Amino acid sequence: MKFIIDGHNLIGSGIFEDIRLDDENDEVKLIRRLQAMKPTSTGEMTVVFDHGIVEGRSKGLSTHGIKVVFARYPREADDIIVRRIRSGESNLTVVSNDSVLHREAKAAGVEVWSSDKFLSYLERTKQKISGTDEDPGEAADVHLSQDELDVHLSQDELNEWMELFLKKNN
């Protein structure tokens, strides 16, 4: 199964009480949580975020089985997800509560899951694989150190980010 996840929509859904959109490290926290919860058997995940510190694929956040992509300004995450929906790719599941993405996915015959359904799936799958009855909330509890929250940018990345920021505020 291939998941394409609307990252900020998943954060904004409130399914993770400790990850909020107004947190400057929300993307990092979500990816770390998904890494902790993702059973190896769930296939690949692509998490797409609206504009972030970096543009395009984030090699620093991407890991085995989880690819992280930031939309390039002026595009939004939804634009990338819709393009992928329309690509005709097989075995794709969209994870979002966005009604526009739901309509696009259904029109293309692509399966779409709400944030709650996705979280429930991860919890059930992880429990089946581990063979335990532990509380899934405890299994997914991830505490990040300050080092894990720090984002390191090259001077070029910093310049691009500042240019984008200055354009948006003028």
How many domains does one find in the chain?
1
82 — pLDDT class (breaks 50, 70, 90): very high
**Domain, as residue range, for 34:** 2-168
Question: Mapped to the 3 state alphabet, what secondary structure does the chain carry?
Answer: CEEEEEHHHHHHCCCCCCCCCCCCCHHHHHHHHHHHHCCHHHCEEEEEECCCCCCEECCCCCECCEEEEECCCCCCHHHHHHHHHHCCCCCEEEECCCHHHHHHHHHHCCEEECHHHHHHHHHHHHHHHHCCCCCHHHHCCCCCCHHHHCCCCCHHHHHHHHHHHHHHCC
Q: What is the pLDDT of residues 109-154, one digit of tens each?
A: 999 999 999 999 888 876 665 554 444 444 444 444 444 445 556 6
Q: Specify the CATH number for the domain of residue 103.
A: 3.40.50
Q: What is the pTM of this model?
A: 0.71
Position of tokens 């310049």?
A: 159
pLDDT (0 to 100) of residue 147: 47
165 — pLDDT class (breaks 50, 70, 90): low
pLDDT (0 to 100) of residue 138: 42
